[in-house]
Amino acid sequence: MKLIEQVEREDLVMFINACLSCTGQGEFYDEYSYSYGQKISLDFLHDYILGNYRQLYTLTLAAGINHFNQAQIILKLLATGKSASPNKQSIENQLITVTLDRLPPQRAWGLLLQLRKKSINNRRARSIAQAYINSRGDKLAFQAVKYRSKLRAIASHFHLKLEPELSNFLFGHWEKSFDTEIFEKFRQAFYSASAIYALPFTVAEGLAVKHQIPRKVFLEKIQGQMTTGEKLRLQGSAHKAEMELSIDPQRLPLTKLALYLLSLDLKQRQEQRLELADWLAKSAATILKNTPLQLGKVAAVLDRSYSSSGSREKRRRPLGIALAVDCLLQQVSREYQAFWTVPLADPLLATPRGQTDLANPILDALDWQPELIVVISDGWENDPPGAVAELLRVYYKKIDLQRQVSIVHCNPVFNANDYELKQISPLVPTIGIREAEDLPTVLAFMRFANGQGSLNELETYLLQRAQDILAKS
């Protein structure tokens, strides 16, 4: 009995870890950085957990996992509604509805469209899609314009009943003008080149091609309608068209901001360092407003080896997470010090360079006598390999018998080959992290990753989180 429990707990911890870090994108250590391996590996893991532990699989939706995996879980649950036991269906439905509601709209609409692509059309999926559309309220009109083709495909796939005007907008012949403002704007833009600048950027972009507007003219005039994310994404395109897009990166969330800063060249970072540091601090403060966190004396061991340059799909992501966590910990800890793998005077000037020597910075951190050490690393230690495991084994056996210093390893990289995150030591919990914003979740999950909490406790923890989420909505 005990063994079964242990296996179950390990499976689940492995799965949650994968769901915290992996998004099916290629990583630095994947062969040729392609993402097939990641996708196949993750997909298998989902099927395995769904087949064996359906209830826990559902509860994982509440564990603070990333959006990609939330969408994946909902999709798999809806596809296999038959195998859900009747008394659990209610909580399953509630969790799906709430999670879908909290997903960013592009992900939610994308998920519903996936249902069509996979030919999933059951009563539950239909009613969840209908409920999602009904609960959009005022935003529905705007999203109907922005995600027009998706909404149209979903509506026709599920045979949904839409309001007459919306239905006419999606499927009709537009014989007269619309009463809804944004629909009318779209109708005008469809016929007139000058009217497209009142629409959201992605919609206008398609119409600009239809009206044959030169790229440069279009980008210049549409600037006001672009979101910060879109502006960031289009830097290259704007550069090609020989123009500048003014961006306002301060408003980016912490990890994205860190990634943006790391994309600037060193000279620019050096010149604006005070300003940039201020942006980071403000962004970190915004997170803490929503999820307060208080820590004591904390040390961070941050990996900036060459492998933290990520892959072509996740450029510099591991390094970006390290920088963001550095900034976050600085604000929540009573005392804080960072130890980089290759020493660094100013974290803003971090570059992915050098080998992965984790043993020395961990030793330096232990010397400083903190209460908690947070290690951010992909776990591919090579100077020398396996040194940390050996170091900590002896440290906990001979020096710190009471385990006064707790160490947690946050790994931003999912290892597709063995479905796991690479560990640095069996004595230290390893938890996946995709965004520095998830740090509170990660720290809460720490004791389970260590193998300390029992399966029962883990179930209770997940159930509690699920109930919290349901109660909030």
Partner 1 sequence: MTKLLETIALHNLEVAPSQVWGSIRLVPLVSKGYREDLRLAKRSYNSRVVVSTDDNTLYHSYVPHGLVLNWSDDGEPVASLGGQLGDKSDQFGGVKVMRRMAQRENKGGNKNSLRFLPLEMAMEGFMGMFFKGPTIAWQEYSRRSRSTGLSPRTEYSITGRSISDLSEALRVFEIHENQVGVLLFVGEMLATAFILPHPKDYRDLHEMLLTDAYGETFYYYGLYGQAQELRCAIKDQSIHNLADLRSALTKMRQEWSDVQSMMSEDLLQRPIQSQQIYQAGVFSLQRFITDLDRTHTNYIGESIIDDHGNLQYLKIYGLSAVQTRRAYLLQTLDRHNWQLEKAAASLNETLASLVKRMEKADLGYLINNQVREQAEKALRKY
Tell me, what DSSP letter sits at residue 384?
S
Q: Token digits for 257?
A: 């901001």
Binder of partner 1 out of 8, 184, 220, 383 (CB under 8 A): 383
Binder of partner 1 out of 220, 306, 371, 440 (CB under 8 A): 306
Binder of partner 1 out of 107, 215, 353, 447 (CB under 8 A): 353
Residue 363 in contact with partner 1, rule: CB under 8 A: yes
3-class secondary structure per residue, 215-277: HHHHHHHHHHHCCHHHHHHCHHHHHHCCCCCCCCHHHCCHHHHHHHHHHCCHHHHHHCHHHHH
Go through the chain and tell me how many residues it has. 473
Binder of partner 1 out of 5, 6, 10, 31 (CB under 8 A): 31
State which residue, 147 or 395, has the beta carbon closest to partner 1: 395
Residue type, 75: L
In whole angstroms, what is the distance from residue 62 CA to residue 54 CA? 14
Secondary structure (3-state) at 332: helix
Q: Token digits for 416?
A: 């597709």
Q: Token digits for 343?
A: 């020493």
The residue range among 66-74, 378-386, 413-421, 439-447 that interacts with partner 1, by the rule CB under 8 A, is 378-386
State which residue, 170 or 342, has the beta carbon closest to partner 1: 342
State which residue, 32 or 137, has the beta carbon closest to partner 1: 32
Q: Which of residues 386-415 bind partner 1 (CB under 8 A)?
A: 386-387, 390-391, 393-395, 397-399
State which residue, 202 or 360, has the beta carbon closest to partner 1: 360
Q: Which of residues 422-461 bind partner 1 (CB under 8 A)?
A: none
Query: What is the smallest separation between the CB atom of 426 and partner 1, expressed in angstroms?
Result: 13
- DSSP secondary structure, 170-228, as one string: HHS---S--SSHHHHHHHHHHH-GGGGGGS-HHHHHHHHHHTT--HHHHHHHHGGG--H
* Helix 148-158 × helix 139-146 angle, to 10°: 100
Q: Which of residues 223-252 bind partner 1 (CB under 8 A)?
A: none
Binder of partner 1 out of 110, 249, 354, 440 (CB under 8 A): 354
Q: Token digits for 373?
A: 């050490």
Q: Which of residues 137-156 bind partner 1 (CB under 8 A)?
A: none
Residue 385 in contact with partner 1, rule: CB under 8 A: yes
Please work out the total of residues on this chain that contact partner 1, with binding judged by CB under 8 A: 31
Contact indicator for 271, 265 with CB cutoff of 8 Å: no
State which residue, 33 or 202, has the beta carbon closest to partner 1: 33
The residue range among 121-129, 382-390, 408-416, 445-453 that interacts with partner 1, by the rule CB under 8 A, is 382-390
Secondary structure (3-state) at 295: strand
Query: What is the smallest separation between the CB atom of 402 and partner 1, expressed in angstroms?
Result: 15
Q: Token digits for 445?
A: 């999950």
Residue 117 in contact with partner 1, rule: CB under 8 A: no
Binder of partner 1 out of 29, 34, 48, 174 (CB under 8 A): 29
Question: Residue 82, CB half-sphere, CA atoms under 13 Å: how many?
Answer: 4
The residue range among 15-23, 104-112, 291-299, 351-359 that interacts with partner 1, by the rule CB under 8 A, is 351-359
Distance of CA 152 to the CA centre of its chain: 27
The residue range among 112-120, 361-369, 437-445, 462-470 that interacts with partner 1, by the rule CB under 8 A, is 361-369
Residues that bind partner 1 (CB under 8 A): 28-29, 31-32, 305-307, 342, 353-356, 359-360, 363, 366-367, 382-387, 390-391, 393-395, 397-399
